[in-house]
Amino acid sequence: MLFSDSIKKPFYLILLGLCITPMIGGGTALILGALFAIILGNPFSELSQKASKWMLKAAVVGLGFAVDFNQVIEVGRSSLVLTIVSITAIIGLGEILTQVFKLNRNTGVLISFGTAICGGSAIAAMAPVIKAKDHEVAVALGVVFLLNGVGLLLFPSIGHYFNLSQEQFGLWAALAIHDTSSVVGASAAYGAVALSIATTVKLTRAMWIIPYTSIAGVFWRSEEKASIPLFIIGFLAAALINTYLPQFTDTWQLINTMAKQLLVMTLFLIGSGLSISVLKQAGLKPFIMAIILWIVVSSVILLLIVDGFII
């Protein structure tokens, strides 16, 4: 080891502390975390993994204080058909690619489900239903994690290249980027309106974890049941409070600002969860399958948005 933990630990904590300040944005935090983990090794690997999950949930709830609850209802109602069609189509395409690349069935299902709905949360919900083994879950999460990082960094630039409005970009990010954290990070970099729309659409979409895992449970004859993640309920509650208690707007804005900085810290922790062992464990085929699936999905959705078929 080039550096002992006595050196790495304070260095890690200093970088994490800087993420509290406006000096570091979400994309930079993710890259810093990943580089630290790959080059030096994460001295708090188990702790940071647990912390990132809770911090992400708290950040998402905090972001709800900038969302109009009526908008959530409208998005859910207006995107019902689009949501069902797109999720089903993505899972179907993923099944085809799984067969083409002769992937482990469970790994293919987890990658497809994560791509279709909300990345790691969807994978975690589906894994017990299909009785996925630990290494299958680890591979799917590793693949999705890397593509999340790519999406977080590339999507804002692509959005500007195609002159997407904030509304268009928010919708595209929510439908095409896997995980909630990267959706929020990319849309936050694009603008406040994009952030509001992307967060609302993504979390509305995440509610479809339950019906799709229930369907999977029938095919796999599983007794495991998925439930709505509590942070989604928290997000809806925050949006409800923000909408119907406008006299406390200053307080809600403060909470929302704190949530954005908490998200930056979370992205650093998520980045620091990357390791060479995760990359080796994933292998090449799952990456190729996931990349093809993601490129097709994001390209088709972008084309439909640019041409006005999805509004």
Structure tokens given for 136: 């299958």
- What is the maximum span of the chain, computed from C-alpha positions, in angstroms? 58
Q: Which residue has the higher pLDDT, 64 or 114?
A: 114
- Report whether pLDDT(193) > 60: yes
List all residues 6 or more positions away from 257 whose beta carbon is below 8 Å from its beta carbon. Answer: none
Is the pLDDT at 157 greater than 90? The verdict is yes
Lowest pLDDT segment from 111-120, 148-157, 213-222, 270-279: 270-279
**Predicted confidence (pLDDT) at residue 165 exceeds the cutoff of 90:** yes
Instruction: Return the C-alpha torsion angle 47, 52, 58, 61, nearest 10.
Output: -160
Cα–Cα separations (whole angstroms), residue 310 to 81, 117, 171, 172, 302: 11, 17, 9, 9, 9
Burial of 138 (0-12, 13-18, 19+ CB in 10 A): middle
Contact indicator for 279, 142 with CB cutoff of 8 Å:
yes
**pLDDT bracket for residue 269 (50, 70, 90):** confident
Higher-pLDDT residue of 244 and 6 is 244
What local confidence, expressed as pLDDT, does residue 252 receive?
A: 92
pLDDT by residue (tens digit) across 39-58? Answer: 888 888 888 888 887 887 78
**Helix, strand or coil, per DSSP, at residue 208:** coil
* Amino acid in the structure at residue 163: N
pLDDT number for residue 281 = 65
d(CA 261, CA 267): 10
Quote the CA–CA distance of 143 and 145 in Å, as a whole number: 5
Percent of the chain with pLDDT over 90: 28
pLDDT at 310 over 70: yes
> For residue 232, what are its two tokens?
């989604």
Question: How confident is the prediction for the chain on average, in pLDDT?
Answer: 84
Q: What value does the mean pLDDT take over residues 282-290?
A: 84
Q: Which pLDDT belongs to residue 288?
A: 92
- Read off the pLDDT of residues 8-31 as tens digits, 9 standing for 90 and up: 889 999 999 998 888 887 767 877
State how far the alpha carbon of 37 is from the alpha carbons of 33, 150, 156, 270, in Å. 6, 17, 25, 10
Alpha-carbon distance of 45 to 114, in angstroms, equals: 23
| Range of 163-172, 209-218, 230-239 with top mean pLDDT | 163-172
| Residue 168 pLDDT greater than 80, yes or no | yes
Amino acid at the residue 214: S
Whether the predicted pLDDT of 293 surpasses 90: yes
Using pLDDT thresholds of 50, 70 and 90, give the confidence band for residue 284. confident
